């Protein structure tokens, strides 16, 4: 059986990780966001925000982590596998930062396709918070959201915007949409 690799994306602090955590509680196969681990490792090395210090190095580490997740997903025998962000997110963040996207990164995004459905968690000011790994303002989160939406559309994905609401309702919406567009 070939699993459907479903990406849940969106700017920072939109509820992606909360939804992924609850999907795991419901016994779905899920992959967590890899950036927090990369940020923590860099901070232990004395680099406060690696993305701001060296966006290309940070992005390369993200791509490597997401490729690893992508290939690990191929070994899972479940009908649906969820990802907290996908490989195209890396390129969208580079575009947000006015950085050139290496051709190699573009090719990696093309060679690692996810399911055509991509769920987008829109900016939600009521739940927006910052922390040691999430430094962007709400305005920046909206700009990141726009870059993500445009980049995924450019790659031909079908975007489904997840409405605001309690986590259970958001998950029900996602699962209903997957059934609807099977």
The predicted-structure confidence for 92-134, as pLDDT tens digits, reads as follows 999 998 999 999 999 999 999 999 999 999 998 887 776 655 5
Q: Which two tokens stand for residue 142?
A: 């909206």
Unique residue bearing structure tokens 């950085």:
99
Three-state DSSP class for residue 29: strand
Q: 49: phi > 0 → left, psi -120 to 50 → alpha, else beta; which?
A: beta
| Residues in CB range of 152: below 8 A, 6 or more apart | 9, 88, 92, 118, 120, 159
Tally of domains in the chain:
1
Domain span at 149:
4-180
Which pair of structure tokens corresponds to residue 41? 């490792």
95 vs 97: CA distance, rounded Å: 5
CB atoms within 10 A of CB 128: 18
Q: Where are the alpha helices (DSSP H) in the chain?
A: 16-25, 35-44, 50-53, 55-73, 87-96, 103-111, 138-154, 167-180
**The pLDDT of residue 181:** 87
Q: In the block, which residue shows the tokens 């093309």?
A: 110
What residues does 29 pair with on adjacent strands? 81
pTM for this prediction: 0.90
Q: Tell me the pLDDT of the chain (182 aa) as tens digits.
A: 689 999 999 988 889 999 999 999 999 999 998 877 776 675 666 556 655 567 788 788 889 999 999 999 999 999 999 999 999 999 999 999 899 999 999 999 999 999 999 999 999 888 777 665 556 778 888 999 999 999 999 999 999 999 999 999 999 999 999 999 87
pLDDT on residue 91: 96
In whole angstroms, give the CA distance from residue 1 to residue 12: 33
Give the domain CATH number at 117. 3.40.50.300
Token pair 């949409």 in the structure block, residue: 177
- Measured distance CA(117)–CA(113) in Å, rounded: 11
Between CA 54 and CA 81 the distance in angstroms is 31
Asked whether the beta carbons of 62 and 35 are under 8 A apart, the reply is yes
């Amino acid at each position: 059986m070939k699993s459907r690799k479903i990406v849940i994306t969106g700017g920072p602090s939109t509820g992606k990780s909360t939804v992924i955590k609850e999907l795991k509680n419901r016994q779905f196969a899920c992959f967590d966001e890899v950036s927090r681990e990369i940020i923590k490792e860099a901070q232990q090395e004395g680099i406060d925000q690696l993305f701001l210090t060296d966006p290309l190095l940070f992005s390369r580490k993200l791509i490597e982590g997401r490729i690893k997740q992508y290939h690990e997903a191929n070994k899972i025998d479940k009908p649906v596998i969820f990802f907290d962000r996908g490989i195209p997110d890396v390129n969208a963040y580079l575009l947000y930062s006015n950085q050139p996207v290496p051709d190699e990164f573009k090719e990696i995004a093309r060679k690692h396709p996810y399911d055509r459905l991509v769920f987008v968690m829109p900016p939600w000011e009521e739940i927006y918070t910052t922390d040691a790994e999430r430094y962007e303002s709400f305005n920046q989160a909206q700009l990141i959201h726009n870059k993500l939406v445009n980049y995924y559309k450019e790659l031909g994905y079908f975007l489904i915007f997840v409405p605001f609401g309690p986590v259970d309702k958001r998950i029900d919406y996602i699962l209903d949409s997957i059934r609807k567009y099977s």
